[in-house]
């Protein structure tokens, strides 16, 4: 009896369903919190209070009221709209926004799918969101929506390049694409975080943050929502629940890209004030609860910074947006990548032996023999050595 229950619970399908339900729940609950937070932050920056009536003094239940309102709205599809594509667009955006959650480690071993190409996989699925935006604009059957969608797609696709280059920088610095291993190498005090590894990774964090802000279509790069120009860009004709889906996708992307910045540069789930992982002290369950809480707090902090920037800076024009990407961010991130690759070489040339191998759990005690060294140490064929001698 017990055996069959245990077998049922540990069956891969059950585990997958539970993990997906938890991640979906996280994404949806976060969307509720973020909408409330956005309105409060917007209010405070604009020297007013924000929602204060629904659910107490701070308007906790405002988002719930908004959600109920949106659910009750009429599902309105324009006559000139391509029905199939209009309906599909919102789902593509949500799919592109949810898939990265599967590979993101929230704690030590708290990851739905521990891939050893996790960083690359996240980049890959984030790039599928662009198609949803294009279909949303095209399927609306309105030329303003199409203009907004094309501009938006061009912006999102362009900013994928500095984003990918800046994601490669920690991959090169740590030697692995697995996010769990990258975070494990940032264990310890906060000066172990990759952002403090060398000046190039420090700058790479800021370039990555700007790139993900732009590719999430957040201000100051939010031409899709520019009310004064395009009514509402690609989501003009979306109302009610479809609009809610699009915006859940946007808040989900905001969180997951902030989480990516946290994992790659800010130490992931590590507190930064303890010499070891909390699971070392508290055991796997309690320690991982601490890990997940720390991770979520760091991720939400970056999302808060995105919201703060939105209500502080004015909107950029489309040509300024594209110029920032093509003329500034791409050369800067290429230079930072080159710097990160050459930095250990520079150290070893100027001060040999100074850059010590950082020991830690998950990292072997001696540096692995680098493949370059090993290749030259492979014995050449006998006739070659004979002729050389």
Distance CA 245, CA 248 (A): 5
Q: How far is the CB of 26 from another protein (least distance, A)?
A: 23
- Residue among 96 and 267 whose Cβ is closer to another protein: 96
- Residue among 41 and 146 whose Cβ is closer to another protein: 146
Distance CA 164, CA 86 (A): 30
- Residue among 314 and 369 whose Cβ is closer to another protein: 369
Judged by DSSP in three states, 86 sits in helix
Q: How far is the CB of 121 from another protein (least distance, A)?
A: 5
Closest CA to 364 of 139, 199, 176, 198: 176
- Residue among 147 and 190 whose Cβ is closer to another protein: 147
Q: How far is the CB of 230 from another protein (least distance, A)?
A: 16
- Residue among 42 and 363 whose Cβ is closer to another protein: 363
- Residue among 1 and 13 whose Cβ is closer to another protein: 13
Q: How far is the CB of 66 from another protein (least distance, A)?
A: 31
Q: How far is the CB of 381 from another protein (least distance, A)?
A: 10
Q: How far is the CB of 116 from another protein (least distance, A)?
A: 5
Return all residues near 223 (Cβ < 8 A) that are at least 6 apart: 148, 151, 152, 155, 217, 229, 230, 233, 315, 316, 317, 318, 321
Q: How far is the CB of 167 from another protein (least distance, A)?
A: 12
Q: How far is the CB of 16 from another protein (least distance, A)?
A: 9
- Residue among 309 and 326 whose Cβ is closer to another protein: 326
Distance CA 298, CA 302 (A): 6
- Residue among 8 and 191 whose Cβ is closer to another protein: 8
Alpha-carbon separation of residue 322 from 138, 143, 157, 326 (angstroms): 22, 22, 10, 6
Q: How far is the CB of 307 from another protein (least distance, A)?
A: 27
Return all residues near 64 (Cβ < 8 A) that are at least 6 apart: 32, 54, 55
Name the β-bridge partners of 360: 363
Alpha-carbon separation of residue 239 from 33, 71, 78, 119, 326 (angstroms): 21, 10, 11, 34, 34
Judged by DSSP in three states, 285 sits in helix
- Residue among 356 and 376 whose Cβ is closer to another protein: 376
Closest CA to 307 of 255, 362, 355: 255
DSSP 352: T
* Cα–chain center distance at 237: 28
- Chain residues that interact with another protein, rule: CB under 8 A: 12-13, 80, 82, 84-85, 88, 115-117, 120-121, 123-125, 127-128, 130-131, 134-135, 138, 141, 146, 150, 153, 157, 160, 177, 363-364, 368-369, 371, 374-375, 378
Distance CA 213, CA 330 (A): 15
Asked if residue 93 lies in contact with residue 153, where contact means CB atoms within 8 angstroms, the answer is no
Q: How far is the CB of 175 from another protein (least distance, A)?
A: 8
Classify burial at 266, counting beta carbons within 10 Å of its beta carbon; exposed 0-12, middle 13-18, buried 19 or more. buried
Judged by DSSP in three states, 223 sits in helix
Distance CA 253, CA 173 (A): 25
- Residue among 1 and 373 whose Cβ is closer to another protein: 373
Closest CA to 148 of 245, 243, 230: 230
């Amino acid at each position: 009896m017990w055996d069959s229950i245990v077998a049922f619970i540990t069956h891969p399908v059950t585990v997958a369903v539970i993990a997906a339900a938890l991640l979906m729940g996280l994404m949806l609950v976060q969307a509720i919190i973020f909408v409330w937070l956005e309105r409060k932050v917007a209010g405070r920056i604009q020297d007013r209070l924000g929602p204060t009536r629904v659910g107490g003094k701070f308007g906790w239940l405002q988002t719930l009221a908004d959600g109920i309102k949106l659910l009750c709205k009429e599902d309105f599809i324009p006559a000139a709209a391509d029905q199939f594509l209009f309906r599909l667009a919102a789902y593509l955006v949500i799919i592109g926004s949810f898939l990265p959650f599967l590979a993101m480690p929230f704690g030590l071993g708290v990851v739905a799918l521990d891939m050893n190409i996790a960083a690359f996989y996240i980049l890959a699925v984030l790039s599928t969101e662009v198609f949803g935006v294009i279909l949303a604009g095209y399927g609306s059957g309105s030329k303003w929506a199409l203009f907004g969608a094309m501009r938006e797609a061009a912006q999102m696709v362009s900013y994928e390049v500095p984003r990918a280059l800046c994601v490669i920088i920690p991959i090169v610095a740590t030697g692995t694409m697995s996010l769990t291993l990258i975070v494990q190498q940032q264990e310890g005090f906060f000066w172990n975080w990759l952002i403090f590894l060398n000046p190039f990774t420090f700058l790479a964090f800021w370039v990555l943050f700007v790139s993900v802000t732009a590719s999430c279509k957040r201000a100051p790069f939010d031409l899709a929502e520019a009310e004064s120009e395009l009514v509402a860009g690609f989501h003009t004709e979306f109302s009610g629940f479809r609009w809610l889906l699009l915006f859940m996708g946007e808040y989900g992307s905001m969180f997951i890209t902030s989480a990516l910045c946290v994992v790659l540069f800010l130490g992931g789930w590590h507190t930064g004030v303890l010499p070891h992982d909390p699971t070392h002290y508290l055991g796997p369950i309690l320690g991982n609860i601490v890990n997940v809480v720390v991770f979520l707090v760091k991720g939400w902090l970056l999302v808060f910074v995105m919201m703060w920037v939105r209500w502080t800076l004015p909107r950029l024009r489309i040509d300024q947006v594209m110029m920032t990407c093509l003329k500034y961010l791409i050369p800067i991130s290429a230079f930072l990548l080159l710097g990160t690759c050459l930095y250990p070489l520079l150290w070893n040339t100027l001060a040999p032996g100074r850059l010590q191998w950082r020991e830690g759990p998950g990292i072997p005690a001696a540096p692995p023999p680098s493949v370059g060294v090993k290749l030259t140490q492979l014995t050449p064929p006998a006739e070659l050595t004979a002729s050389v001698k």
